[in-house]
């Protein structure tokens, strides 16, 4: 007859009493690999939304960081991502993994159950599993890459309006990009938010003058 105080017996009874719908499967979290195809010179990531859902970050934030890392223009098309250049699967895997390590994974427990918060001017990864916090590490060379003229939707840029086009929009330049800004005059300096990028053509909206 089993001893009521026997550890194994107590453990067995506790297991039997535990509600089965509350027992979770703590399998290792995994990121879906990018499913890509090529259309002419473009690279299409067919499962971009699935990747976004797995990472649990704002899609525009993920998109912006990946485009900066790749030095490529691109945009979302429904659940897909279209890159305006040919990118290998290995290269894209590397950039997505870099994003996850920088903006998602907890530095203490290694879990992805985190969110981004701001503390002053610093972005911080806060873990909801263990409560740890760590600042986001900005990769060296990122600012230098921005100087090459990579422009993405959502960027805020300081521009000088150098001319006015036939439709009355102000024209500015940034590297290889021509920027159209409605409602401004030649010689005006302003801060704009990028609303659309198509090739080397950028449409911006004035934020402050």
What separation in angstroms does the CA of 35 have from each of 47, 64, 69, 79?
Answer: 6, 19, 19, 12
Residue ranges and CATH numbers for the domains of the chain are: 36-143 (3.30.30.170), 151-208 (2.40.50.140)
**One pLDDT digit (tens) per residue for the chain, 209 residues:** 455 556 566 656 655 655 544 434 444 678 899 999 999 999 999 999 999 999 999 999 999 889 888 888 899 999 999 999 999 999 999 999 999 999 999 888 888 999 999 888 888 999 998 999 999 876 544 443 444 456 777 788 889 999 988 888 999 988 888 899 999 999 999 999 888 887 788 899 998 76
The length of the chain in residues reads 209
β partners of residue 180: 171, 203
pTM, whole model, 2 decimals?
0.58
């Amino acid at each position: 007859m089993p001893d009521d105080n026997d550890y194994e017996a107590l453990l067995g009874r506790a297991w039997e009493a535990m509600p089965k719908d509350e027992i979770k499967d703590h399998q290792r979290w995994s990121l879906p690999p990018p499913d890509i195809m090529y259309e002419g010179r473009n690279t299409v990531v067919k499962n971009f939304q699935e990747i976004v859902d797995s990472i649990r970050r704002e899609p525009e934030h993920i998109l912006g960081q990946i485009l900066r890392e790749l030095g490529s223009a691109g945009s979302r098309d429904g659940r897909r991502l279209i890159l305006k250049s040919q990118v290998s699967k290995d290269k894209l895997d590397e950039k997505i993994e870099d994003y996850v390590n920088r903006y998602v994974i907890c530095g203490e427990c290694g879990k992805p159950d985190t969110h981004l918060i701001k503390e002053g001017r610093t972005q911080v990864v806060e873990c909801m599993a263990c409560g740890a916090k760590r600042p986001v590490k900005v990769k060296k060379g990122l600012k230098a890459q921005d100087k090459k003229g990579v422009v993405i939707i959502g960027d805020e840029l300081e521009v000088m309006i150098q001319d006015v086009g036939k439709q009355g929009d102000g024209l500015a330049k940034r590297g290889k990009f021509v920027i159209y800004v409605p409602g401004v005059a030649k010689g005006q300096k302003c801060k704009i938010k990028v609303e659309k990028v198509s090739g080397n053509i950028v449409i911006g909206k004035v934020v402050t003058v």
